[in-house]
Structures are given as C-alpha cells and as structure tokens.
Chains A and B, each alone.
Chain A
Amino acid sequence: MNFDPLVIPFLAGTFFLLIVISVKYFNWIHKLDANQVAAIRKNIFSIHTIKAINEIFHESLLHRKIYRKNRLLGYMHMSLAFGWFLMIVVGKIESLFYYGSFYDRPWLGIFFKYFARTPHHYFMIIPFSFIMDLLLLVTLSGVVLAIFKRIRSRSLGIKKTTNHILLDRIALTSLWWIFPLRLLAESTTAQLTGNGSFLTGTVGMLMAHLPVEHIELPLWWAYSICIGVFFIAMPFSRYMHIPTEIVLILLRNWGAREGEQHSGYTDIQLNTCSRCGICIDACPLDFAAQINTVQPVYFIRDTRYNHLTQEVADNCLLCGRCVEACPVGLELTAIRQQVRQKAETPGKHYFEYNKARENTKKVDIVYFAGCMSHLTPSIIISMKEIFKQAGISYWFMDEEKGLCCGRPLRQQGYLQQSKELVLKNTQLIHSSGAKMLVTSCPICYHSFKEEYSLDIPVMHHSEYIDMLMNEKKLDLAPSDLEMVYHDPCELGRNCGMYDSPRHVLNKIGHLTPVESEKEKSLCCGGSISNMAIEYDVQSKIRNNALEVLTASQPDVLVTACPLCKKTFGQNGKVKVMDIAEIVAGNIKNRFPQII
C-alpha cells in the first residue's frame, strides 16, 4: 500500500508551490541589474559560495541573529525551522531504510507512519521512531511558544508584534495545525499498528478508549490538507521568506547589492521579510512617538503588494536602527530611498555655480564644513583652531558660497539633481590639489564616502583629530569632565565609525557608556531624511533619546554631528558640545596667540 488519496492535498500544494516559486524566481533573476549580474558571475565559483552555504545553515535553519535578540525567540524559530527540516530529512532516510529505494514516491517520508504499518519489518525501527518523535516534540514546543508569543510577546523579548493581514493569518494557522495533527494522526496509527515511540506511542495509548480506527483516516486527511493549504498560501504570504532567504544569502555573498532602481534583487529582499516585527521595537518613531504604521515591516509589505502610500514611504528617519536589528539583514534604508524616487527632467541643469570659488593656494587638506555646521559656528571656529595648532594648511571649501553635498536630495529621491551637485563638488575638490578631504558633518561624510568617487581620502573630523593625535601633531590636556558620547546615525551605523571619537574623548575626560550606544544608538530626531514629521514629533524622539543619554547626569553630552548638536541643544537640559569644540578647548602646549 504505497498510495492513498489522502496524499492528494499535500501533492497538490507541493506542485503548486514549486510552479509558483519557479516562475517568481525566474522573473526576479531575469530582472537583476547589470552590476548585480556582474558580481554574481564573478563570485559564483569561489569561496563565497561556501561561505553562503555556511551562512544559510546558521541563519536560515538555526538563526543565530534571532538568538542574539532573545534566546527563547531564537529557540522558537529554530525548533520550527530546523525541527521541521530534520523531520523531512530523517523521514526521507527512514523511508529509504524501510523501502530500500531513494527514488521512491516522495510522500512516503511525509506520511511514513501511515504507510509503514508493519513495524518489525526492519531492525532500525526503534531508533528512527525515537528520533522522529523527539523531533516532533521539539517542533511542537516551538508551536507552543509561538502561540504563547501571541498572548505574551514580552516574554520572548518582543514588545510589539506585527499586525498581520488575513492571508498571513491563514498561512500561520495552517502551519500551527500541521504539527499537532501529525502527532494525533501518528498516535492513532501507533495505537493500531504499534509503530510509535515514546511520544506517539504514549499519546496513542491515551487515545485507546476512542474509536481510533475511525478517526485515524480523518486525522491524516486533516494533516495533509493543512500542509496543502500552507504550501498554497506560502508564496503569497510572509512564509515566502523560507525559500527566498536562501536565495538572498547566496546573492548577497556573491556581492549583489541594492541599486538605485528597483530590480529583481529588490523583489527578493521584499519577499525575504518574514514580518517578524523585530524592526518595530527598534524604530524610534514607534517607541518615542507612537507612530506605528510606517515601520519597515509594514513598509516592505505595502511595497511588496503594491499599495505603498507616500505617507509611509516618507515617514522614516533613515536612522538605520531597523537595518541593524533585522534578522534577515535587509537593506531597508536603501529600499526606502528607492521608492521615494521622483520624476525629473532628463538633461536639465538645475543649478548655476557662478559664485562657487576654486582653491588658489597650495594646501594640505580641503575642509568642508557642511551646511549644518554653518548653523553651529562654534564647530567651525574650533576646527580652525585645531588646524592652526596642528600646523595644517587648509582650504575652507564652503566658507562662503559652498554647495550642498547632495545627500538630502538623494534621500528624497531627486537623484539627477543630487548627481549634479556631486559632479560640481568633485570637480572643486579635485582641482584644489589637496591630499585629503575633512568634513565636520556626518551626512556629508557619508555622501562623500558612498556617492562620490574621489581620488583622495575622506575623513570626518573626529577621525582626523584622532589621526593628528597619533601623529603627535595635537596634544590634549586631560580634565575631570564627566562625558557621554552620542553616536550620530550617519557616522555610527551608516559609516561604522565608533572608535575614533571615543579614543579622542578618553584622552580628555571620563567617558561614561550609555545604555543604547554604538549600533544601538538612538536617533536625535532631527534627521533630515524625514520630512513627514513636524517639530512636535521630532521633540518627542529627541527627549526620549536625551533621557537615555543623560541617565548618568554627565557634565556634557558630546556628539560629532552639527545636526545632533543643534537638535539636542534645543532642549536645554544638558550642555551639548561637538567633539571638535571640546578638543579645541583642551589643547596642550598652545601656540602663543598672535594678535
């Protein structure tokens, strides 16, 4: 007996799933852009593929990143993903032992207990039954945790869970039912044939007083239907992340990255989102300002199903906390910038540069303060003092008639205008003949690093001051200041610079660590990326961040971004200084002032 109509729902679901997934993947891979294809061609036969397979094992099956968020949550995901995966694999091996052929009908492993009704047919029955029961128990514990998470998500480290759409709920319910139904079905069969182990055998005995021979078949049917429903719902629901994450990990390891335009890679990223909702807790708009419809989970969902509204697309600080938190590593901020893209007139020149000056002297470095630094002149004065004390000759590029670096326009989707500014600034920087570009604004710094292809190195002033100290060009006097340091989003998460500013500040005074720092640093709320929120919402985010930062009652809150300084300064609760100011005020062995 190797076939029974009860496998039909399972088979129908499986075939449907395979066909839909194949069509989708073909389309997406076909739509990859030229850079992505080139990267894949280059790396497909290299060590990167092995690294990808390693990552697939660790992230798709075990999911270490979720473990890092919360152990119980990690266990929940692992027991479901890895447990089910092993049940399929071990079930296949078991049927291989039983039937002696690898290429036997595929459903035999899934419905093994139903078909293998002569348990003493082969000697491995006891260990296999034991392993299969154990795996089922592990998977069931995952289901129990998943149900518990719906009631008390905080116990699993999640404050707010996702609001799911109907399709997700259907898929979720059918997934949850698969395992209890399998337990009941296998238990009835175990009671009838004696092929159970510690779990199915025991549950079967408990069911002894029921008419097991009549309920066995309906239970197996229900089990098969649940798998079928789950497979049919899967490609259109959040569970598309199961196969798609594997593809994403492969492509990412081969070097594919999100481009400026929507591509097949974007579709793959959109489908890799499992709507776990970990990003909701990470988003300052949620926990500080109670805005709960714009988080990446909803943004990605709306983009995937083509009903994204401008309100959702625009309402984002691009602070990158969600990118840091995302367990599948989606480039959420890149996709957000992509959908903001606006129509522009091709070939049009938007700006005139009659007043842009070029450098005429021979200098060591170019100094670009950035628009925002012009509103915090103390930073510029301090930088001038630092250059003077270190004996550096510089050209102050945007002292009077400077241009914007182009990042604000890019963030709002005006790519052509942004590129025009990039082009002009590049020309001005290159014509200066300097060997390095130093900027005081992390927004500009990020832009110079990512959007410009300059042939000289770029440094943020905190990194530059650190370098000057290492070269003994600048000596700082220690003081007894109690300081905390705020990592600006653009400098920290977006450019990965955490150590230089801390290194500099430790020379000056005592730096107290704060609760949310480095990768987990909070946004000041003043981000220029978000035009959708007004001053009142910004203040809520700012005040929330300040509460965390000033918990240790520091003398001064140090930051490295003029916009953060300006935003925090508006509160007036604590003295806010830029790292350049504090350095300029603590220089040892000052040159005598020449008046």
Chain B
Amino acid sequence: MLLFSFRKLYSAGISKFFGYAVPACKIKDLSKLPCYYWSGGFVQVSMKLEMKDSPGQLVAALKPISDVGGNIIAVIHQREPDSDHDTLDVQIVLELPEGRLEKLVELLKEQGVHIQRIGEQRLLYKRTVILIGHLMHTGLSDTVDQIDSTGFAEVSELAMSMPAVKDRSSSRLTIKSVSKEDMEAALAILRRVSQQKSLLLIEPLEEIA
C-alpha cells in the first residue's frame, strides 16, 4: 500500500495581501506548524510587526498566533537598508479562525510587539472531502485541475491510499476558497466530475448554522 501526503504551499499571490511588492520570501515548513481543526470560516490576515532586534523576539511574537488557533502561512523578514538596527520589521501572513483577530492583537501587544499595520483580510473557507474509486485510471490530476483551474478555489492538500492496482483507491482532498459561494461552486464541480468518473464523493457534514 502506498501512502503519500503533500501540502501545496499557499504562497501564490502573497504579495497581493501587501500594498507593495514583496522581495524574496522565506516560507516556513508548513508541515511542522500546528494545524488547528476548524470547519468554519478562516480569516487570512497580513501584518507588519515591529519588534526589538534581539534574540528570542521573533519566536515570542509568533507564539500568540498558535495560541489563538492560527496557522502561519508566511514569515517575511525584510531588513531596510536605512533602518536603525534596534528594531526589526517582520511581515507575517496567517490564517485565523473567524473572530480571533482581536485576541491576537491583544496578545501581541502583551509581548511588546508593535503592530505597524494589519493588512487586508479575506475569508478563507476550507473543506475536506474524500473520493473513492479508480482515481488514477480516471485521471487524478485532471480531477484536481478542474478545481485548481477555476481561479477561485484550489486543492491545497491531498492524501491518498492505493491498495492493489485493480482495487478502488481512496483519497482525501482539502479544498480552499475565498468565499462560501466559491466553495459551493467548487464542490458542485467536484460532484459533477465524480459522477462523470463514477467516483464516490464523501462530503463533510456542514457545520450546523
């Protein structure tokens, strides 16, 4: 049995969350970050933080993010050539369960971190589905592409298990989208594709509203 799992870096378009172009980004290893399970909406936030340029400051600034159930998407450390060397500017992109931003701001202030600005936010919806069937024979990459090519939703994670060649395989797909409507549209595409390819699509039970 083959089992693999990969996570696409949700790095595309990070620059558009900032008002200006971002130079080379250092994306942290996402697999080592805490993954908070939340089936409701996420808010994606970019922040520009200013902190003392001394050992341990960055870690102290990042800790509150996991405390509020957030996920760090990117940390961009940018040294301004003309800045004085006492402070450090760091930009971070993170996703948070809805309604936790205020708490995060409070915690960051307690850590002595100065928030220069909080960037544009957008809702981030996440849904996990399971597909069962002859996934490889029916073109798994095409199935994924049908979502990715929409431009408003994408498959951000895929885990798969394939028993003997003739047997049906099973996979778990995590889809992300900008809005709830986009998620519905993405799931509608997946339902149609599943039907065409005779795959069994198992959807999550939506949070009871």
Say if A and B assemble together: no
